[in-house]
Amino acid sequence: MNKDQVQEDIIEEFSVFEDNNDKLQYLIELSNEMPEISSEHRTEQYMIKGCQSKVWIDAQMKDGKLYFTADSDAIIPKGLITL
């Protein structure tokens, strides 16, 4: 799936919600689906600087593909990084 298709899918997912509170609730639900990042990656080295919330991200190359894991101490940013 290319990035344009991914973007269109996300837009379509959120278009069903008319109310911003419903969109936020959906982001919160997404945050519950994300597996937690390992504790070894919840360090300063993996933290994204400049965020009001704490956000950690790690990337691993496996079989020629890049895989990301991430986490946040706040539910809305965690939902955003789940996207």
Other beta carbons within 10 angstroms of residue 71's beta carbon come to 23
**Residues acting as catalytic residues:** 51
Q: Tell me the one-letter amino acid at 41.
A: H
- Tell me the two tokens of residue 36: 């937690």
CA distance 48 to 68: 14
